[in-house]
Structure 1
Amino acid sequence: MERKPYLMSAVIGNSRLLASLGKRAELERLFWPRIDTPQNIGRNWLGLAIDGQPRTSWFHEDQWQSHQYYLPDSAVLVTVLQGSENSIKAEITDFAVPGRDLLVRHLQVTNTGAADQRLRLLLFSQLQIGEYGRYHTTIFRPQAEALWQFKQNYHFLWAADRPAQQFQCGGAMMNADNGQLSPVMHAMATDGAMAWDLGLLAPGHSNAITIFLSLGPSYELALAQLEKAREEGYAALLAATRSYWKGYLAQAKPVQTGDERLDALYRRSLIVFSLMTDAEHGSMIAAPEFDEDFTRCGGYAYCWGRDAAFITYAIDRAGYKEAAARFYRWAAKAQNADGSWEQRYYLDGAIAPNWGLQIDETGSVLWGMWQHYALYRERAFLAEMWPSFKKGAEFLINFRDAETGLPQPSFDLWEERCGEHTYSAVAVWAGLMAAADAATTLGYQEEAERWRQAAEELGQRIQEKLWHPGYNRFLRGVKLCVNREEYQWRTGQGEKGVILPGERGQMIYCLQEDAVVDVSLLGLTVPFAFLPPDDPRVEATAQAVEQFLTSPRVGGIKRYENDHYIGGNPWILCTLWLAQYHGARGNYQRAKELLYWAVDHQTATGLLPEQVDRETGQPAWVVPLTWSHAMLVLTVLDLLEKGQF
């Protein structure tokens, strides 16, 4: 299959399925039966055959100008298209029906010209069911007026609220492009097409049609769902979907800042949390997948303890208590027998592709469990999580470097370098303190004393080993692992290094100090509260973050000095991390400036990307990034609680 676009414009879903769409309502990706995997769409095109024109005018083509938005406070997407080479306006409304494996695509087509126009709507569907391009079957079922595409227990039914005028199974792309399908009813093929007559439209007149995609583990179940949808009709399904999202938002803590643009983005963030959370397990993905072949990154449709610590804390503070508790119950099941958590997981708890151990994950999950208890004080939850606290804390105690007293080398939170990192050490400290607090609350005094003592010892080592008076800031880390060539070059420039023997006799080349300024150093205060925000050392470190990491042309904060990932852009979450620090320090004006920088760099559909292009200020890379939305929610709540709105 050809590579799909990285940057998406919008997402729709219902925690059972997730779809990513382009700016002209191109259905680029469809994740089902889970929102992390598999992705089942190869090509999916909608277009109009217009009498007198030689080929189908596909909506994804450049001749269509588009405007896209969500209906307020919902996951219902509207795309308005106007043809530049024809006199047609099309409005497409897309949504997933809550609680069902059902996608609805409603089109209203209007003749904006001065003469009558005869139109037909075409759908071309090429699937890669289960992310695999073989062993598919496509059948047209006349009794159901549906195109049935299936493989094994994945069944897709495409149909409309009226009979099809034409259909074709297999080899349909060329004919669909020409606007005339050949009535092949059955093919062992990945593709098929359908066409519906929209009639002769007089100037200013419209016609509407609703297309359904019903998915199921069998033809019978998918068909029953399709028939029910047809019986209910578009208007009822839309009303039920909008009502669902209204009810979902009503469960949250009321937030009113006095700025509707900010409030709307806050509410949109809450919707993103739901879309990115798995209905069955309660785990969440970092973002909808967009780089399936790992061409420029290692993928995003996985659950990280790192992201989840921030996301679930935001979910918790926004008032979605049960959603947060479900995540921690999932985390307890996913935890390794030795007490650690892997770097990332599929949403069912299976280990996902990864680089290796990332120790801050284990500390962060334990910290988050305690934050949930601290918000709601439900002792039963704490008792339920006790085995995870105990296993996790014991793992962290044993995962110490005898020489430095810090956690042993592991990957940093950006998963780019191995060493003993300040952020990771502080996350471990927070995890141990959380476990000690849980033990005290539940009456396990022996464990509480041992874990608290270990945390205090670690805290002392952090301050001894990672604060650097010469730089007047905390180091990013120590014992930074590099390859031999980099080691030789950097030690030749005067940096201190050490060569250590590995477990299998190999040589490990380490630089003794990693002095790069990194936004994650704010973790000393936010969110882990290892040191107070007015500690002079924290203040000096935060000043270095702002000085060295502010992007000069468009503003915003980068991850770290000389970051080259996707061009070294400022990140939404990094900018909001600094905003949270300034809010904690009482620098409210600066906190708001950084907050509104993020608001100003949302996408046209009100989603927060991972990065903002350092030259153009346009969204870059991932849309939406759940962690970005979590930081927005946390920043707003922090400032609200301090009476700053």
Structure 2
Amino acid sequence: MSAGAVSLAAGVWGVPRLHAALRPAPEALSEGVVVGAHGALQVLAPGESVDYLPGTRLPADPAPWGMDPQQRDELAQRAALRQQGARLPHGRWGSLAREALDDLLALTGPTLVDDGEAGGVLDFPVGAVAAAPVGGWRYVWPRDASFCAAALSSVGLYQEALGVLGRLASWQDETGALEARYTLSGRPPDQRPRQTDGVGWLMWAVGRMLADGVSVADLETALGHCLARTTSRLLWLTDTASHLPAASPDYWEVPESVLTLGTAAPVLLGLEAALGLARAGADLGADPERLEERVATVRQAVERGFAPGWGRHVRQDDVDAAVVFVLPPFTTELAGARGVRQDAVARMSRPAGGVAPGSSWRRDGVSWTPQTALLAWSGVVLGMEEGPRLLGWLESHRTRVGALPEKVLADGSPAGPAPLAWTSALVVLAAGA
């Protein structure tokens, strides 16, 4: 839910929990996207519909979108080249994965028609993943982008994935830190603090690519000094008395004074990925023995801080979706986490059938699709019945054009922006599992 803070309205960063009466009910902000004239990505207003060319977000009838059939067909050829070699699941989840991938690619490096009063376009550079096509979601979050890279790699679109990670690398500062989010020019749009988890997710995504068969040489060529900078940053973050990073905002997008599992776990995952890269021969500026020792130390520290309750915060049991980060497919199970995972969905469930970000999230009846998709992927990998069920729930709660929204209201209707890049990426990963 990287853009979840937007739902608090622009001026309330720093107020983590407003009274429910002050929060307007979420509403649908977009139905989806369509590729229009000159390849520009246009937003479908709520209630608007379009028939797509199969395997694209191009309109079957190009005339209403400022194109003639020849231009549409040329854009269709580009889309096909971009997806050439993609390995998508067949059978039950094939169509869902295909449409999620279509949206994910549409949001990666788009020329996005501006929905502001001034008109014009927002021209995102290659590899920059817009979190969603409207309003305050038209930024790049390192967390979302890293998951998008992992999803693209999982279906064999390695150059697309490297482009996403290469864009993040180009915006990383010399200390290896990443901002909470970026404009299309690579600058932070506001004064919100950095979010530590982004560095861990970046390296985790690199590790996923290595596991998918991308060579160390190709990773080093595409990412350059990013690998060593990120490793150095992860080591620095855990060079503390507790061997845990300091408190930081995470995917809840609220200020935190106490360390969350949503920050600690990605840092551990990043270190584990760095260890895998070092063992494979990558030059990270730290030898495998040092990284192996740090990984073991940090795993113990995470267990010491969060087990047995595996709650959102250190030594608490307010479970949230981050519990999946300490289990497969993210890492080897940490002590006691599977037991907490067993009833996590029940503790986080909402009336429409999805989940809230956590058990301590406000009781507004809203389901959030990124967290539901995280639990779906986790459930599929762990062999839990709820994995396919949650994936089916996501499939049945898309917009009328097949886009995955950020939220689903208690009555089952979509809300927030659609498509959401993070959810689209997670659905690709879950369907492929």
State TM-score, norm by structure 2.
Answer: 0.82
Cα deviations across residues 289-330 of structure 1 (Å, max 9, x unaligned)? 23xxxxxxxx21111111122111111111211001111222
Counterparts of 1:33-432 in structure 2, within 5 Å, are: 68-77=50-59, 93-94=61-62, 105=64, 211=66, 234-257=68-91, 259=92, 262-278=93-109, 280-290=125-135, 299-384=136-221, 385=223, 387-400=225-238, 402-418=240-256, 419-432=258-271
Q: Which has the higher helix share?
A: 2
Residue 451 of structure 1 aligns to a residue whose secondary structure is helix
Q: Once the two structures are superposed, what CA deviation does each residue of 1:164-192 show, in whole Å capped at 9, x if it has no partner?
A: xxxxxxxxxxxxxxxxxxxxxxxxxxxxx
Query: Residue 477 of structure 1 aligns with which residue?
Result: 313
- The answer for the alignment partner of 2:358 in structure 1 is 560
- Structure 1 gaps of 5+ residues are 26-66, 79-92, 95-103, 107-210, 213-233, 291-298, 479-512, 639-645
For 1:502-513, what aligned pairs fall within 5 Å after superposition? 513=315
Q: 1:610 maps to which residue?
A: 406
Structure 1 vs Structure 2 CA RMSD: 2.5
Which residue matches 2:298?
458
**Which residue is equivalent to 1:221?**
none
CA shift, 1:406, in A, is 1.0
Are residues 578 and 237 of structure 1, via their aligned partners in 2, closer, same or farther at CA, if it must alter by over 3 Å?
same
Residue by residue over 1:15-71, the C-alpha shift from the partner in whole angstroms, topping out at 9 and shown as x without a partner, is 96321122565xxxxxxxxxxxxxxxxxxxxxxxxxxxxxxxxxxxxxxxxx64333
Q: Using the TM superposition, give the Cα deviation of residue 451 of structure 1 relative to its aligned residue in structure 2, in angstroms.
A: 2.4
One-letter amino acid of the structure 1 residue matched with residue 310 of structure 2? F
Number of residue pairs aligned between Structure 1 and Structure 2 = 389
Q: Any idea what the Cα deviations from partners look like across 1:165-220, whole Å, max 9, x if unmatched? A: xxxxxxxxxxxxxxxxxxxxxxxxxxxxxxxxxxxxxxxxxxxxxx46xxxxxxxx
Larger RCO, structure (CA 8 Å, separation 6 or more): 2
Name the counterpart of 1:516: 318
Give the Cα–Cα distance (whole angstroms) in 1 for the partners of residues 29 and 426 of structure 2: 21
The residue number in structure 1 matching 2:23 is none
Counterpart check, 1:22 vs 2:4: no
- For residue 101 of structure 2, what is the amino acid of its counterpart? L
Q: Identify if the C-alpha distance between structure 1 residues 315 and 354 changes in structure 2 by more than 3 Å, giving closer, same or farther.
A: farther
* Cα offset, 1:77, TM superposition: 3.5
Partner SS for 2:42: strand
1:634 aligns with 2:429: yes
> CA 1:530/1:342 → structure 2, altered by over 3 Å: closer, same or farther?
farther
Please list, as runs of the form range in 1=range in 2, the aligned pairs for 1:515-554 lying within 5 A after superposition.
515-531=317-333, 537-551=336-350, 553-554=351-352
Q: Secondary structure, in 3 states, of the residue corresponding to 1:420?
A: coil
Q: Within 1, Cα distance between the matches of 2:291 and 2:127?
A: 29
Partner secondary structure for residue 259 of structure 2: strand
Identity %, equivalent residues = 24
Flag the structure with larger Rg. 1
Partner of 2:12: none
The 2-side partners of 1:354 and 1:557 are apart by: 30
Residue aligning to 1:440: 279
Shift of 1:396: 2.1
**Cα deviation code 1:379-432 (max 9, x no counterpart):** 322333352222222222222474432101111222213131123111111111
CA contact (8 A) 1:608 1:628 kept: yes
CA distance in 1, matches of 2:69, 2:232: 56
**Amino acid aligned to 1:322:** Q
> Are residues 592 and 544 of structure 1, via their aligned partners in 2, closer, same or farther at CA, if it must alter by over 3 Å?
closer
In 2, the alpha carbon distance for the partners of 1:417 and 1:526 equals 28
Task: Provide the C-alpha distance between the structure 2 equivalents of 1:634 and 1:562, rounded to a whole number of angstroms.
Answer: 27
- Residues of 1 paired with 2:80 and 2:175: CA distance? 43
How far apart are residue 263 of structure 1 and its match? 2.4
Contact 1:466 1:475 in 2 (8 A): yes
Return the offset for 1:440: 2.9
Task: Please name the residue that 2:10 is paired with.
Answer: none
The question of whether the paired residues in 2 share the 8 Å contact of 1:278 and 1:347 is answered with no
Instruction: Give, in whole Å, the separation in 2 of the partners of 1:521 and 1:612.
Output: 22
Give a deviation string over 1:92-133, Cα, whole Å, max 9, x none. x45xxxxxxxxx626xxxxxxxxxxxxxxxxxxxxxxxxxxx
- 3-state SS of the aligned residue for 1:267? helix
The 1:278–1:518 alpha-carbon spacing in structure 2 relative to 1, beyond 3 Å, is same
Q: Is this contact kept in 2: 1:12–1:76, CA < 8 A? A: yes
CA distance in 1, matches of 2:128, 2:292: 29
Indicate conservation of the 8 Å contact 1:432/1:451, yes or no: yes
Quickly say closer, same or farther: Cα 1:605–1:423, change in 2 above 3 A.
Answer: same
TM-score, reference length from structure 1: 0.56
The structure carrying a bigger strand percent of its residues is: 1
